Chain A
Amino acid sequence: MRIGLFATCLGDTLFPEAVRSTAVLLARLGHDVVFPPEQTCCGQMHVNTGYQREPLPLVRGFAEQFGDASIEAVVMPSGSCAGSVRHQHGIVAERYGDAALRAGVAGVQAKTYELSEFLVDVLGVTEVGAYFPHRVTYHPTCHSLRMLRVGEKPLRLLRAVDGIDLVELPEADACCGFGGTFAVKNADTSTAMLQDKLGNVAATGAEVCTAGDSSCLMHIGGGLSRLRSGTRTLHLAQILASTRSTPYVMQTDQLSEAAR
């Protein structure tokens, strides 16, 4: 299958390892991975903060870069960016775009997937040949859970990972408090939510807290780092791309991945 990889602006800039792992994983599964180099950002932050005119060029850009019929699926390591493409691009195009853009958006929306749903629903795989001998807990991010309805898919992928010790996160479906600009505009409430999430993560005794969104992981990871906690965050793709021959090398420092 010919897959268009959308790195997401956050992934490209701050969390490249999650995107690298996604590319490697998909290639390893035998697929053509292409990276349209003009891609930048899906515009989610704009729309969620109340700006719908400003991201119009971003919506158009996305539809143009991934619209080509030779790209059979657009895959991204982010539930919230996939949610933005599927649920918000249409709103922006409807309001400020023209008929051509609306058609383009509809076409690209229909083939856009978050990584776990792409693997399970489209490729029909849960066992991807991963090896990750660590204690892991999974936080289902809100947009993957409630916008995309990925449900158990990430957990099915994780359960099939060789050597993994997967522990359930208490109150897993509670929001971590990130919410994009919410974390800045309502920092106190966001912090209160984060603290409860961190408490639940700590209760699992996991070495790794994983999720399908680098943004939420940045939030949870930022909190764990501040607490100098022994748990670190890692994107789901990084666990799935870790194999016996090229295992993920655990670093003790929470944020060391980005700091490399």
Chain B
Amino acid sequence: MSSTFLGMPAAPPRSPYGTGNLRGERKFPAAAHDELRDEQLRRNLGKATRTIRGKRLDVTAELPDWERLRDAGSAIKTDTMNRLPELLQELERKVTEHGGTVHWARDGVEANEIVTRLVQETGSDEVIKVKSMATQEIGLNEHLTSRGITAYETDLAELIVQLADDKPSHILVPAIHRNREEIREIFRAAIPGVDPELDSVPAHLAAAARAYLREKFMTTQVAVSGANFGIAETGTLSVVESEGNGRMCLTLPRTLITVMGIEKVLPRYQDLEVFLQLLPRSSTGERMNPYTSMWTGVTPGDGPQEFHLVLLDNGRTAALADEVGRDALNCIRCSACLNVCPVYERAGGHAYGSTYPGPIGAVLTPQLAGMHAAKDDPNSSLPYASTLCGACFDACPVKIDIPSLLVELRHQHTEQSGTTAEKLAMKAAAQVMKRPRLYTAAQKAAGAGRVVAGRDGRISHLPPPFAGWTDSRDIPAPPKQTFRAWLASAEGAAELRAAAEEGARKPGHDGEQVGPGRNGTHVSPGRDAEQVGPGRDGTHVSPGHDGEHVSPGRDDEDGDQG
């Protein structure tokens, strides 16, 4: 018997990307440019994120085991992603056993069609909704509207956004970009029968929304929700919220349809212990969230008598295929990373163009929907919408290393972009930097930058693409002398010798007497040839005269360009 050698298996084709609200119309810098001009937005965002940052720090600092909770959360999530298929099948089995029906949706289009069909089968043309990122991601409301079904958002902030025909700008506080006055105007214009004298006192605004929603809760027969967690072991679904509107939606209607991203599954019921501590403290800065609803299938005579679970992929399998990027699927949507992000705080959520804004959006969106759908895909700008300051990583309750993911996505972007002007510049820079001789020459050329500097030694105007820098900052003209030139100069040698002599006069701080001459090497460069030269093993101790060195090291040969 002979077998046919088929060669090394190729990488499997990447799963399809997701559809829906996962791509803006413009790149981040252009969108942010406009958002930044909205002073109101910046003030609201600054105030809200600052308040919530403080609250979060207080309630996380008071737990002695907070760091270990984070580790546990991270470990459970990583374990979940490592065996996602089996956990999802277990979840399906358990939900079905308890009288629910499970549907699998490959993407947003399929999920929208499934939900629409399920609503139509009930005969209702209205649904009430619990705030849900997943349905926002797939554009469910718009889809239902196109099929003659009206969806009512019942979370106060989502309601404001919906009534204003607006888009949410924050995962947790979707109307963070609106102030009270604006909300009053929105209510007066859009809530039927609202008191025309309605003022902007928060309690009055809340009462107006409550009166409007109560009627919807009591009369609507179908609810659509998302899910924070789905427990594979028991088939239990859970929604965590603050206003009680979720509890109403999850208990009053006859039919409940839950759309859950497949990454929301958790292995065991016990895992909730970890996440129900991590989530409220990270998101709202509360010790516990006011309402935690859990349900398992259907219970005869109690709550919805029909339960459908729609499991949504929409690019999640594609993200899972990425060894580095898959960590983003561990996200529990607490929004802590948004609240600490200096970029998000200034640019706001809309600039990201996706359902998922902020640091997590910048790593999740490109993975769910890709970043090379067309030339100049707006999503390709998202990994660059960060200074890599690392505040998000510190805040994340499941320790997602967002800065490293951003760097990885940037790498994937440049790898897929072919030859660009930037790549050529980077190549050229590396070519210079790896050759000390060329590098020294380039430093001298940089000294020519002194020519364009003003007499006070500052450069106030640079041509594009660096004009962005000089729009608001000067840049110093290069100094007359580089460090290495100083080191090789008589002045440098004298200064270092004086410092070394001073050092030799006092005992070393680490207890040992150190100073020049130890190991036969010297402290610092000098011009005396006997003191300079290659040290042991061919390394140089110091430069010789005028920066030229005698080097047994590498020549100017190209390195491995891999």
Contact = CB atoms under 8 A, between A and B. Distances in A.
Given A29-B503, A226-B460, A183 B430 contact: no
A187 B33 CA distance: 9
Contacts of B542: 34-35, 37
Give the most central of A182, A186, A194, A195: most B CB within 10 Å.
A186
B473 interface: yes
A51 to B, nearest CB: 5
Contact of B525 (A35, A175, A179, A187): A35
Interface in B529-551: 535-537, 539-543, 547, 549, 551
Contacts of A54: 423, 426-427, 429-430
Interface stretch (A107-115, A139-147, A155-163): A139-147
Contact of A124 (B458, B509, B519, B551): B509
B231 to A, nearest CB: 34
A125 B561 contact: no
B269 interface: no
A82 B496 CA distance: 24
Contacts of A15: 479
A225 B473 contact: yes
Contacts of B509: 29-30, 123-125
Interface stretch (B157-165, B182-190, B381-389): B381-389
A249 interface: no
Interface stretch (B5-13, B94-102, B301-309, B462-470): B462-470
B347 A189 contact: yes
Interface in B509-527: 509-510, 513-516, 518-519, 521-525
B503 A2 contact: no
B414 A50 contact: yes
Interface string B8-21: 00000000000000
Contact of A51 (B388, B426, B560): B426
Given A46-B426, A218-B475, A70 B390 contact: no
A23 B410 contact: no
Given A48-B407, A123-B509, A146-B390, A260 B427 contact: no
B480 interface: yes
Contacts of B36: 188-189, 192
B193 interface: no
B474 interface: yes
A69 B519 CA distance: 13
Contact of B457 (A34, A61, A253): A253
Interface residues of B, number: 109
Contacts of A190: 387, 468
B215 interface: no
A40 B442 CA distance: 11
B387 A13 contact: no
Contacts of B503: 27-31
B561 A9 contact: no
Interface stretch (B243-251, B254-262, B275-283, B482-490): B482-490
Contacts of B560: 56-57, 60, 96-97
Contacts of B554: 38, 61, 64
Interface string A37-49: 1111101011111
Give the most central of A51, A54, A97, A177: most B CB within 10 Å.
A54
A175 B549 contact: no
A106 B360 CA distance: 30
Interface stretch (B118-126, B130-138, B286-294, B432-440): B432-440
Contacts of A43: 430, 433
Interface in A5-42: 7, 9, 11-17, 19-20, 23-25, 27-41
A221 B539 contact: no
Given A23-B496, A29-B503, A255-B456, A219 B473 contact: yes
A221 B476 contact: yes
A178 interface: yes
A123 B482 CA distance: 28
Contacts of A31: 503, 508, 514, 523
A179 B481 contact: no
> How big is chain A's contact interface, by range?
35 or more
Nearest to A51: B426
B229 interface: no
A71 interface: yes
A13 B478 contact: yes
B422 interface: yes
Given A12-B443, A65-B539, A192 B346 contact: yes
A69 B483 CA distance: 25
A203 interface: no
Contact of A1 (B389, B484, B510): B510
A205 interface: no
Contact of B514 (A1, A70, A177): A1
Contacts of A36: 539-540
A37 B543 contact: yes
Contact of B468 (A47, A56, A70, A187): A187
A43 to B, nearest CB: 7
Interface string A239-260: 0000000000000011111111
A169 B236 CA distance: 49
Contacts of A221: 476
Contacts of B496: 23-24, 27, 33
Nearest to A36: B540
A12 B472 CA distance: 25
Contacts of B64: none
B535 A34 contact: yes
Contacts of A181: 384
A55 B506 CA distance: 42
B32 interface: yes
A58 interface: yes
Contacts of A34: 521, 535, 540-542
Given A194-B472, A255-B458, A33 B480 contact: no
Contacts of A69: 537
A210 interface: no
5 contacts: A11-B483, A24-B499, A37-B551, A189-B346, A225-B474
Given A32-B516, A35-B484, A184-B466, 8 more contacts: A1-B508, A7-B484, A12-B443, A40-B433, A40-B434, A180-B388, A186-B32, A188-B36
Q: Which 6 A-B pairs have the closest CB atoms?
A: A259-B457, A187-B468, A179-B387, A57-B559, A50-B410, A222-B473
Interface of A: 1-2, 7, 9, 11-17, 19-20, 23-25, 27-41, 43, 45-58, 60-61, 64-65, 68-71, 87-88, 91, 96-97, 122-125, 142-143, 145-147, 173-175, 177-195, 218-219, 221-223, 225-226, 253-260
